Amino acid sequence: MATAIEIFKLLPKKNCGKCNFPTCLAFAMQLANQKAKLADCPFVTEEAKTKLEASSAPPIRLITIGTGENKIELGDETELYRHEKKFYHPTRYAIIISDLASDHQVEAKIRRANDLRFNRVGQILALDLLGVRNDSKDPQKFAAMVSRVSQESKLPLILMSDDPAAFRQ
């Protein structure tokens, strides 16, 4: 996030009060503390809006894994440490299944992933994701494993491969 002085340099400096603050500097200070919204200033330019929005964007963009009721969102946090404010998208847990794993190993991991639940300080924790890794370097084998895992578990999948061709299958 930009400092109040950096924000002030991008504001129109009219001191009109239409933002409900007596001066543009006071408004900039409130913006820096996230107690005001940039949209409150009717005279801010599009260029300034773009620069300020980019500077206040979270360091990690929001990503969505899965769909429907199993949708998981990660990132989009503005704080580095939980004690500074709060994390809105909690840490998620996953296990990795290799496409080289035997049928018995795959079945056991999927069953464990679907059933694993434990209580930690009154909070129920569970696996949220399954990772399928392309260790074989064979796109067909990887696609078959992804298909199998997606049919046997409702958890969202993380597809892991160094070969872009594996994702085209």
Exposed / middle / buried, residue 134 (Cβ in 10 Å: 0-12, 13-18, 19+):
buried
- 80 is a domain residue: no
- 124 is a domain residue: yes
Domain that holds residue 116: 92-168
In a shared domain, residues 154 and 96:
yes
> What's the pLDDT at 77?
77
Token pair in block for residue 60: 């990690």
In a shared domain, residues 157 and 101:
yes
Radius of gyration of the chain (CA): 24
In a shared domain, residues 98 and 158:
yes
> What's the pLDDT at 46?
92
> What's the pLDDT at 69?
86
In a shared domain, residues 105 and 160:
yes
- 102 is a domain residue: yes
In a shared domain, residues 99 and 155:
yes
- 36 is a domain residue: yes
Q: One digit per residue, pLDDT tens: the chain, 169 residues? A: 678 899 999 999 999 999 999 999 999 999 888 888 888 999 999 998 888 888 777 777 888 998 888 899 988 877 766 666 777 788 889 999 999 999 999 999 999 999 999 898 988 889 999 999 999 999 999 999 999 999 999 999 999 999 998 998 7
> What's the pLDDT at 131?
96
- 75 is a domain residue: no
- 105 is a domain residue: yes
- 137 is a domain residue: yes
Comparing CA positions, the residue from 56, 126, 118 lying closest to residue 91 is: 126
- 67 is a domain residue: no
In a shared domain, residues 152 and 96:
yes
What CATH number has the domain bearing residue 46? Answer: 1.10.15.40
> What's the pLDDT at 75?
85
Please count the structural domains in the chain. Answer: 2
In a shared domain, residues 158 and 103:
yes
In a shared domain, residues 97 and 159:
yes
Distance CA 169, CA 161 (A): 12
In a shared domain, residues 49 and 96:
no
